[in-house]
Amino acid sequence: MREEASPSAPPPAGNDRGLQLLLAGLLLSLAVVDIYLFLWSGVVILALSGFFLLLFAGFCSTPWEAWQLTGRVLTAVCLTFRAYRARGYTPQYPEWPLQFEVLTAAMRVCTRTFGHRIVLEKHARYIRRQSDVLGTLRGLLACWRLGFTVQGVDVHGLEHVWLRRRSEGRDSSDKSSRIVVMYVHGGGYSALSPRFHIDFCVTLANRMMQLLAKDPSLESPPQVDAFLVNYRKAPESPYPAAEDDVLAMYGYLLHHEQLKPEQILFAGDCTGAELVLATLLHLRSQHGPSNLPLGAILACPVVDVAALHQEDAINAEHCILSASMMRAIGLGYLSTAETRETWKRRSSALHPDHDLSQLPPVFVQVGGLDYLLSQARRLMEKAATMDQATQWEIDVHDNMPHVFTSFPAFVLPYANVGIHRMAEFSARLIISQNKVDRQEVKSHQKAEDAGSSSIAA
């Protein structure tokens, strides 16, 4: 029997009906006082209703809900300013500038009021389009600033995105001096577009190249590109469609782009990080260690999807995620008890049959205020204690909420600290692999020289 998320669960309404009647009474009184003022007021209200609905259509179903949510957001913003002034104009946390505090306050209102709706097809589709436009605009600016190009490519009926450094005298046909960050975006398996993360990915790739250029052991630092993977979304395509698509795109990089596994680095955030984990497990079970990528970065990962719908209340009052939204995500992706059991057995990194020590190096980054902090700690506990994995690292950032590195630097300058940590991990892996490759070349050359000497003798 199918278990449904509760898309129609009413938000805390208060005296909404009374407020509606009050507004209607005010408009009617205007009609009595001045018919032209009444008409102009109606035009303004309709225009604002359209604007608010356009802004919040990913969460709201009606113009009244859009007005309601707008009022709550404005109230939260005003309360944030008042608290800021009451603290003597000091930030709530040392790393939080005022603009970040205001933005996260507004986001929390949205996710706690109507966040459960992001898994519904109508709302999910709108958020995808909205994030696609916003991400493209932000991304093009970041690419122009850092010297990257954006190129969409259609594979298997979906648009994926290449981010490449503009050629500066480098031989673009030399695939051996190339690293690709294969990025899998989050969004509750249903919302967001890969283009939403262009800004983050070019910043990460650029920082990686800066660190590699400083290393004296690299004669010619590799070019770092990013490949933003798209996948079929729930609810139209539930589990395991997204996993299948991510796995297929790794094959695309190996065969179409002719890359070696050690030239590919996985990365993902939130539910995208869970898809990265599942892909690693599938690759290990199907092809063995030889087909695994160089490493993986998990940013604020969802780890136990099957438990999201039944988790106890988590004390994460300053995180942008909400309990109702996470429950809806869990039920939207794994809608029945059977699919949850299948996912646990086949895709869960917490399952005892999946030995995490057999995976490549993994970097887990999470915020100290993240709703998913406890899941990240459970993952690391299994890796270190049960599986004795020595190549796993956890990077906890105090006072940071969910996916803090995805915020623009002008909103949260501290995001660059998290990105720098990711880049350091990636650069270490690349430099280490470069040493292995050079050693193999030397050994091969010695073998050839020995063979030539024996033939000459």
Give pLDDT, residue 436.
80
Q: Which residues pair with 159 in a beta bridge?
A: 154
Q: Per-residue pLDDT tens for 274-313?
A: 999 999 999 999 988 889 999 999 999 999 999 998 766 5
Beta strand spans in 316-370 (E): 362-367
Q: Is 356:389 a contact under the CB 8 Å cutoff?
A: yes
The 10s digit of each residue's pLDDT in 246-280 is 999 999 999 999 999 999 999 999 999 999 999 99
Tens digit of pLDDT for each residue in 96-155? 999 999 999 999 999 999 999 999 999 999 999 999 999 999 999 999 999 999 999 999
CA-closest candidate to residue 358, choices 422, 278, 280: 280
Angstrom distances, CA of residue 430 to CA of 121, 162, 184, 223, 264: 40, 20, 20, 11, 10
- The pLDDT, as a whole number, for residue 318 is 92
Four-residue CA torsion sign, 255, 259, 263, 266: negative
Q: Which amino acid appears at position 455 of this protein?
A: I
Kindly state the helix (H) or strand (E) to which residue 223 belongs, with its residue range.
strand 223-229
Overall average pLDDT of the 372-379 stretch: 96
The yes-or-no verdict on residue 16 having pLDDT over 80 is no
* pLDDT (0 to 100) of residue 65: 85
- The one-letter amino acid code at 25 reads G
Neighbours of 290 (CB within 10 A): 7
- Check whether 13 has a pLDDT greater than 70: no
In sign, the C-alpha dihedral spanning 425, 184, 270, 128 is positive
Domains of the chain: 16-116 (no CATH), 126-440 (3.40.50.1820)
* Distances in whole angstroms, Cα of residue 361 to Cα of each of 224, 265, 385: 18, 10, 16
**Segment 438-447, tens digit of pLDDT:** 776 666 666 6
What does the pLDDT average to over 72-76? 87
Q: At what angle do helices 16-33 and 63-86 cross, to 10 degrees?
A: 100
pLDDT (0 to 100) of residue 121: 96
Question: Which pLDDT score is estimated for 43?
Answer: 56
**Neighbouring residues of 439: CB distance < 8 A, sequence distance ≥ 6:** none
- 239, 339 in Cβ contact below 8 A? yes
pLDDT at 316: 83
Residues 325-347: tens digit of each pLDDT:
999 999 999 999 999 999 999 99
Q: So what's the pLDDT on residue 4?
A: 42
CA 169 from centroid of its chain's CA atoms: 33
